[in-house]
Amino acid sequence: MANVFHKDRNDIIQAITRFVNYIHERPEEVLQRLGCAG
């Protein structure tokens, strides 16, 4: 299911992988941005 931002399924998978890796590397920063951390 491709959309305007991603050319194909592989591109979507790569984007999700980068996103997950970012969260894994910076959990505190991500929680702060979501407003969950004190």
Query: DSSP letters of 2-37?
Result: --SS-SSHHHHHHHHHHHHHHHHH-HHHHHHHHT--
- Do 22 and 30 contact (CB within 8 A), yes or no? yes
pLDDT tens figures, 1-38: 555 665 789 988 999 999 999 999 999 998 898 888 65
At 8 the pLDDT is: 87
At 6 the pLDDT is: 59
φ, ψ at 37 (rounded to 5°): -95, 150
Q: Total structural domains in the chain?
A: 1
Q: Which domain holds residue 9?
A: 1-38
Q: Cβ atoms within 10 A of the Cβ of 20, count?
A: 10
At 30 the pLDDT is: 86
At 19 the pLDDT is: 92
At 34 the pLDDT is: 86
C-alpha–C-alpha distance, residues 24 and 17, integer Å: 10
